[in-house]
Amino acid sequence: GAVVSQHPSWVICKSGTSVKIECRSLDFQATTMFWYRQFPKQSLMLMATSNEGSKATYEQGVEKDKFLINHASLTLSTLTVTSAHPEDSSFYICSARVAGEGLDNEQFFGPGTRLTVL
């Protein structure tokens, strides 16, 4: 199946710093990537939908100026958590949708990035 990578897998940073997370589709082109946030023992909450070459669409309640998303190519999307605070500590997961007729529209998830803000 399609492989999605994320980097870094974990990061610890000081409050006030910015953190960039990369999401790459390794063996396919992803016109759409999704960014989710998952708190411990909770479900995945969609943060934003990222389309290559256009601005991301953010879900209600997600600050676009705090969570900057860039989808510069068909294989790379980045999420930057700006001025991170302890409440931003979470598991951030990206997924990529394989476009095309006859496909199941399943989303392939990256391994996730665990962010801890001190």
Partner 1 sequence: GQQVMQIPQYQHVQEGEDFTTYCNSSTTLSNIQWYKQRPGGHPVFLIQLVKSGEVKKQKRLTFQFGEAKKNSSLHITATQTTDVGTYFCAGRISNDYKLSFGAGTTVTVRA
62 touches partner 1 by CB under 8 A: no
Among 21, 23, 30, 34, binds partner 1 (CB under 8 A): 34
118 is written with which tokens?
């001190």
Among the listed ranges 15-23, 35-43, 64-72, 75-83, the one in contact with partner 1 (CB under 8 A) is 35-43
What would the DSSP string read from start to end of 87-104? GG-EEEEEEEEPPSTT--
DSSP state of 15: T
CB-count exposure of residue 70 (10 Å: 0-12, 13-18, 19+): middle
Nearer to partner 1, 19 or 93 (CB): 93
77 touches partner 1 by CB under 8 A: no
- What residues make contact with partner 1 under the rule CB under 8 A? 1, 32, 34, 41-46, 49, 93, 95, 97, 104-112
